[in-house]
Structure 1
Amino acid sequence: MSYAPSTAAGKQTAQQLADISRTLYERGWMPGTSGNISLRLPDDPGRALITASGRDKGELTAGDVVEVDALTGLASPPGQDRPSAETAIHAAVYRVTGARAVIHVHSPYATVVAHRATATDAVTSVRVERFELLKGLGLNDPTSTDLPVFPNWPEVDRIADDVAGHLAACREGPPGLLLGDHGITTWGDSLGQAKNRLECLEALCRLLVLSQSELHVSRA
């Protein structure tokens, strides 16, 4: 069942998700049905809208979203379309960081770094330092950061547990993470901020790849 907002805020939020999905699709960061985006409802931040599973992101409409509990990822009203398979990861980010928007895409350079730096059995991290673009991430120390890379377990709930545990233990980390062989997830206080941080992290990953230097990877 397509999403039918009961408030003006819900309608506006759904349209924001549709608009940014098309923008990121046109960049080649959400090919086909890949990727997912969520945003807390401004009139009820305990709930969020997230893109429905299996939707072409280049043709997403305001009706192609699902309302969920922001902290658990469970669908709120019954009878809705199925939410993104990675809703649990969004909920983990919301619970720990207090963010209001989460974006997950398959942007090419971040995905390459995730592929090179992933481990099959543990969270790793990629050292990023000195690049001016680090200032776009809102870090307390903008000279360097360790970008976490999580194993892409078949069980999404297991990934979500890893993410929640890591973010709770590393409060000073960047507002983003990589999934091994998969892509990148970022977050912020608004969709605009999450998108800006996504752009910075993708650009930083591009610089790491183009520098052709060996990635500084460590186990978290």
Structure 2
Amino acid sequence: MSAEARLREQVCLFAKSLYDRGLTPGASGNISARMEDGRLLVTPTGSCFGRLDPARLSVLDQNQRHVDGDKPTKEVALHAAFYETRPAQTGAVVHLHSTHSVALSMLPETDPDNMLPPLTAYGIMKLGKVKLLPYFMPGDPAMGDAIRGLAGKRSAVVLAHHGPVVAGKDIEAACYAMEELEETAKLAILTRGLHPNMLSEAEIGGLVRTFNVEWED
């Protein structure tokens, strides 16, 4: 099996896993993965993560032009911005409409610069600080501009009223980090108002230093 064929299978495998566990409903969400020659495999517009066909994935050239497969997601600009601003660290991008992270994005007390409270070590290790971006109409190219405005300093963002976007070194890393984001958002919702014990600044600092976490102010 060629490297491209393996990557096509991986995209569909991880997408179905996310769908089967209710992390993105209906025909929502999109995934992209960079091939060895710099082209992108992208999930098609209007497609369901539970029923993707590896042979029908969209293919974009190095300039994000559609060259093969079904019509790509309308949110290509969102993905392209991560590949442009974090080229060395980004081999895949995952965008979902997951319930708890969207819910957290709508609460007025959520910190837009670091929207996940420091509840678990892995939330910090896998994600660093998660930026809450404002609402954009789905497909609006301005979403990509907002990510470019972060100058490559964040690997994960949440679009208010919409959903999270995570970039990783490969599709496995991006999906696992995405799952950590949603689970941490779930914990934040479950413990809201209960005054949970947070990780201390010293404990956060230890994680950042030990695991080389991106932790920009």
State the TM-score bracket (shorter-chain normalisation): 0.7 to 0.9
RMSD: 2.6
Structure 2 residue aligned with 1:19: 13
- Kindly report structure 1 stretches of 4+ aligned residues shifted beyond 3 Å: none
Structure 2 residue aligned with 1:61: 53
Structure 1 residue aligned with 2:112: 124
Which structure 2 residue ranges, 5 or more long, are not aligned? 195-216
Assess if the C-alpha contact under 8 Å between 1:39 and 1:100 holds in 2. yes
Does 2:169 align with 1:189?
yes
Q: 1:28 aligns with which of 22, 26, 33?
A: 22
Match runs of 1:146-185 below 5 Å: 146-154=130-138, 156-166=140-150, 168=151, 171=153, 173=154, 175-185=155-165
Does 2:102 align with 1:111?
yes
Output the amino acid matched with 1:203.
E
Instruction: Identify the structure with the greater strand proportion.
Output: 1
The C-alpha deviation readout for 1:32-81, integer Å capped at 9, x for no partner, is 1110011101x21x2110001111221111023111135x432134xx42
Output the amino acid matched with 1:28.
G
- Cα 1:38–1:90 change in 2 (3 A) is same
The Cα of 1:127 is off from its aligned counterpart by 5.3
Structure 2 residue aligned with 1:217: none
Aligned mates of 1:135, 1:128 — CA distance in 2: 9
Aligned mates of 2:2, 2:54 — CA distance in 1: 12
- Cα 1:201–1:154 change in 2 (3 A) is closer
Aligned mates of 1:29, 1:134 — CA distance in 2: 17
Assess if the C-alpha contact under 8 Å between 1:118 and 1:181 holds in 2. no
Aligned mates of 1:146, 1:155 — CA distance in 2: 21
Aligned mates of 2:167, 2:13 — CA distance in 1: 17
- Cα 1:74–1:124 change in 2 (3 A) is farther
Q: 1:86 aligns with which of 75, 79, 86?
A: 75
Assess if the C-alpha contact under 8 Å between 1:110 and 1:201 holds in 2. yes
Aligned mates of 2:8, 2:109 — CA distance in 1: 34
The Cα of 1:104 is off from its aligned counterpart by 0.7
Assess if the C-alpha contact under 8 Å between 1:115 and 1:180 holds in 2. yes
Query: TM (normalized to structure 2)?
Result: 0.79
Assess if the C-alpha contact under 8 Å between 2:127 and 2:156 holds in 1. no
Assess if the C-alpha contact under 8 Å between 1:176 and 1:185 holds in 2. yes
Output the amino acid matched with 1:194.
A
Aligned mates of 1:163, 1:118 — CA distance in 2: 22
- Cα 1:37–1:163 change in 2 (3 A) is same
Aligned mates of 1:87, 1:160 — CA distance in 2: 9
Output the amino acid matched with 2:164.
I
Percent identical: 26
Query: Helix, strand or coil for the counterpart of 1:30?
Result: coil
Output the amino acid matched with 2:34.
R
- Cα 1:127–1:24 change in 2 (3 A) is closer
Aligned mates of 1:31, 1:127 — CA distance in 2: 22
